[in-house]
Chains A and B, each alone.
Chain A
Amino acid sequence: YKTFAGDLKWDHQEVTYRVISYTPDMETSLVDDAFARAFKVWSDVTPLTFTRLFDGTADIMISFGKTDHGDPYPFDGKDGLLAHAYPPGEGLQGDAHFDDDEYWTLGTGPAVKTRYGNADGAMCNFPFTFEGKSYTTCTTDGRSDNLPWCSTTADYSRDKTFGFCPSELLYTFGGNADGAECVLPFVFMGEEYDSCTTEGRSDGYRWCATTSNFDNDKKFGFCPSRETAVIGGNSEGEPCHFPFVFLGKEYDSCTSEGRGDGKLWCSTTDSYDDDNKWGFCPDQGYSLFLVAAHEFGHALGLDHSNIREALMYPMYSYVKDFSLHEDDVEGIQYLYGRRAGPDPTPPQPNTPSPTSYPDPKTDPTDGPTDPTTTTRPVDPSKDACKLTKFDTITVIGGELHFFNDGQYWKMSSGTEGGLKGPFSISERWSALPAVIDSAFENLLTRKLYFFSGTRFWVYTGKSVLGPRGIEKLGLPDSVQKVEGALQRGKGKVLLFSGENYWRLDVKSQKIDKGYPRYTDAVFGGVPNDAHDVFHYQGHIYFCRDRFYWRMNSRRQVDRVGYVKYDLLKC
């Protein structure tokens, strides 16, 4: 292996990435998945973590482009250069670019993920039979709406599982129309277009308007390529036309005639001689996963290896069951060290020494007669000590946070102790509503999850995903709000609502089977209508009104007290 001069590497372990643009060759979720798997190749053997951002500047900015794509190293059309990436550092450094004159697949021919239909987004199964005929591509046979579809098993007549294939009639990607399908015909610069076009663009990408008049509405999206579309040439996105005439001879299939490089091409009209419209024929394509894993190796600080079987070898070769070569592992661990054993567990803070607290039998409103000793310069109406209940209490960055009606306070555990705030929720998390029912920080990824009513938001640093419906996590419609969240070990979080709780698998973003369970069946001795549940300094806290029930790691309630005095230190 080789590293770049000066052992260029990231000076932090939580590396961020952002996908700036997509290829029309594969559905965007397939592209996202290929990149995520490519990053996992490296996070599996190092302490590095990779977090995806959806806006702003990430360490590794990923984009597709053709020929001259905005940096000093133009791509070269189909084949040849597939992609390149820059070593770690600021700006362009660390970025990865993929040549979109290539045919991007998973390495074994068209990777067609379906939408709608009844196969829940399964991939097309080529070949498949339908009404006794065998198909190796999507077809509009059997439909009158001209939408291409495919079977997701080998025999549609037997299994009847199908989905719709990428088509501009179904959806677009990128642009500013949230993936809406094309409206054909549409008007652009006063002209009418009845198909996608590259007009008006210098990057060769096909686009369409998602209303009937782009000049008025300025709404557009990029057109996904159909799996029959030619690659490169001058007819991007068009299918081959068979038969076609070339140099006076008729061809019923792709040919390498007329070329010195042996590549298979076809005409996209019935006569190449007349129209000169052509493109390369779809082939096995290049595995976006494999090429991305290689490029991300560069973006992390690895140069090329001279071991033919290593991922960082400069030349592409498809591998079905990929695993990192020891040469790659040695190189990346030279830069970042090994992955420390099992998943890193956050350090357990020392449990606080027991402090006296007023007997809950007395009416807490009596409380201590002397005025609160806190010297917080706050507007009295915003004094946390005057609140009898918070919307939610949670731990973020190891500090207790108290949320109430658009504001929050935080109890810093450092030397300067004491409650800080109020702060404005919207200033720090602009997408959030005023009332937060519960929140938690995923200690592995540092992502912050906020729940309000039946919606939730996921913050990664400044970037946010959401709002999304909590039903997306698999919670039933009966759940009107999530009232508590408890981290439980590796990538699991318990979500509490009413008398029940569910276990969320954070990685799959799905509720585990076998839930809900009754809270008091598992957490004996605490109220089963707690409006807040959180984990703090080795204990679980269940809050109801002014009181909290504290449970230790053996699930014994070892304290009942006042939020106000024990947690807010009023």
Chain B
Amino acid sequence: WSLPLKSVFVTFPGDIIKNMTDTELADGYLKKFGYIDTLHRSGFQSMVSTSKALKRMQRQMGLEETGELDKSTLEAMKRPRCGVPDVAN
């Protein structure tokens, strides 16, 4: 068996860059859809609010409320959806 080809990631001109880490994706998602109040963010508080925000998002999407960025939560964040926030603010 040949070694698996190392996938080369190319930046395509005109592409809306979406190559981001899972954490960046999750953070952007929770902010965009109103789960994290983007105001008053600080270090320690941010950890608590991210876990709490994840639980709120998991409840909204009918997922298991682990407060963790698990596989099913990450997949849900990648699915096409409506742009209206889930948490009105």
Q: Is B a genuine binding partner of A?
A: yes
| A304 engages B79 (CB within 8 Å) | no
**Stretch in B36-44, B45-53, B58-66 touching the partner:** B58-66
How many angstroms between the C-alpha atoms of A508 and B86 in the bound complex? 39
Please report which residues of chain B, range 1-53, place their CB below 8 angstroms from some CB of chain A when the two chains form the complex.
7-10, 12-16, 18-19, 33
| B13 engages A234 (CB within 8 Å) | yes
Please report which residues of chain A, range 297-316, place their CB below 8 angstroms from some CB of chain B when the two chains form the complex.
298, 303-304, 306-308, 314-316
Residues 53-77 of B, flagged 1 when their CB comes within 8 A of A and 0 if not, give 0000001111000000000000010
Task: Output the residue of B9, B16, B84 with the most chain A CB within 10 A.
Answer: B84
Contact of A83 with B83 at beta-carbon distance under 8 Å, contacts A77-B16, A233-B14, A315-B76 already known: yes
| B84 engages A304 (CB within 8 Å) | yes
Q: Which residue of B lies closest to A279 (CB)?
A: B14
Does A540 make an interface contact (CB < 8 A)?
no
Q: Tell me how far the C-beta of B58 lies from the nearest C-beta in chain A, rounded to whole angstroms.
A: 10
| B83 engages A77 (CB within 8 Å) | no
Contact of A84 with B84 at beta-carbon distance under 8 Å, contacts A77-B16, A306-B62 already known: yes
Q: How would you classify the secondary structure of chain B's contact residues: helix, strand, loop or mixed?
A: loop
Contact of A303 with B82 at beta-carbon distance under 8 Å, contacts A77-B18, A314-B60 already known: no
A residues in contact with B78, CB < 8 Å: 261
B residues in contact with A303, CB < 8 Å: 84, 88
Q: Tell me how far the C-beta of B33 lies from the nearest C-beta in chain A, rounded to whole angstroms.
A: 8
| A315 engages B12 (CB within 8 Å) | no
| A76 engages B60 (CB within 8 Å) | no
Q: Tell me how far the C-beta of A9 lies from the nearest C-beta in chain B, rounded to whole angstroms.
A: 15
Task: Output the residue of A4, A102, A247, A304 with the most chain B CB within 10 A.
Answer: A304
Q: Which residue of B lies closest to A75 (CB)?
A: B83
Q: How would you classify the secondary structure of chain A's contact residues: helix, strand, loop or mixed?
A: loop
| A315 engages B10 (CB within 8 Å) | no
Q: Tell me how far the C-beta of B31 lies from the nearest C-beta in chain A, rounded to whole angstroms.
A: 13
B residues in contact with A247, CB < 8 Å: 8, 10
Q: Tell me how far the C-beta of B35 lies from the nearest C-beta in chain A, rounded to whole angstroms.
A: 12
Q: Which residue of B lies closest to A277 (CB)?
A: B13
| B15 engages A233 (CB within 8 Å) | yes
| A294 engages B83 (CB within 8 Å) | no
How many angstroms between the C-alpha atoms of A233 and B14 in the bound complex? 6
How many angstroms between the C-alpha atoms of A21 and B15 in the bound complex? 24
A residues in contact with B62, CB < 8 Å: 306-308
| B81 engages A67 (CB within 8 Å) | no
| B8 engages A258 (CB within 8 Å) | yes
Q: B10 is contacted by which of A82, A83, A85, A259 (Cβ under 8 Å)? A: A259
| A315 engages B79 (CB within 8 Å) | yes
| B82 engages A82 (CB within 8 Å) | yes
Q: Tell me how far the C-beta of A537 lies from the nearest C-beta in chain B, rounded to whole angstroms.
A: 48
| B81 engages A306 (CB within 8 Å) | no
Task: Output the residue of B12, B15, B61, B83 with the most chain A CB within 10 A.
Answer: B83
B residues in contact with A82, CB < 8 Å: 80-83
B residues in contact with A75, CB < 8 Å: 83
Contact of A81 with B88 at beta-carbon distance under 8 Å, contacts A259-B9, A260-B9, A265-B12 already known: no
B residues in contact with A257, CB < 8 Å: 7-8
Contact of A314 with B9 at beta-carbon distance under 8 Å, contacts A233-B15, A306-B60 already known: no
Residues 80-92 of A, flagged 1 when their CB comes within 8 A of B and 0 if not, give 1111110000000
Q: Which residue of B lies closest to A294 (CB)?
A: B82
How many angstroms between the C-alpha atoms of A261 and B84 in the bound complex? 23
How many angstroms between the C-alpha atoms of A5 and B88 in the bound complex? 8
A residues in contact with B81, CB < 8 Å: 80-82, 314-316
Contact of A304 with B82 at beta-carbon distance under 8 Å, contacts A257-B7, A259-B9 already known: yes
Does A276 make an interface contact (CB < 8 A)?
yes
Q: Tell me how far the C-beta of B18 lies from the nearest C-beta in chain A, rounded to whole angstroms.
A: 6
| B16 engages A76 (CB within 8 Å) | yes
Contact of A298 with B16 at beta-carbon distance under 8 Å, contacts A259-B9, A306-B62, A315-B76 already known: no
Please report which residues of chain A, range 3-25, place their CB below 8 angstroms from some CB of chain B when the two chains form the complex.
4-5
Interface residues of B (CB under 8 A from A): 7-10, 12-16, 18-19, 33, 59-62, 76, 78-84, 86, 88
CB-defined A-B contacts under 8 Å, sample of 24: A67-B16, A75-B83, A80-B18, A80-B81, A82-B81, A82-B83, A84-B83, A84-B84, A232-B14, A232-B15, A233-B15, A257-B8, A258-B8, A258-B12, A259-B12, A260-B9, A261-B18, A261-B78, A278-B12, A294-B82, A298-B82, A306-B60, A314-B61, A316-B79
Interface residues of A (CB under 8 A from B): 4-5, 67, 73, 75-85, 99, 101-102, 232-234, 247, 257-261, 265, 276, 278, 286, 291, 294-295, 298, 303-304, 306-308, 314-316
Extra contacts, 6 of them, besides A76-B18, A234-B12, A304-B60 (Cβ < 8 A), are A81-B83, A234-B13, A259-B12, A261-B78, A276-B13, A306-B59
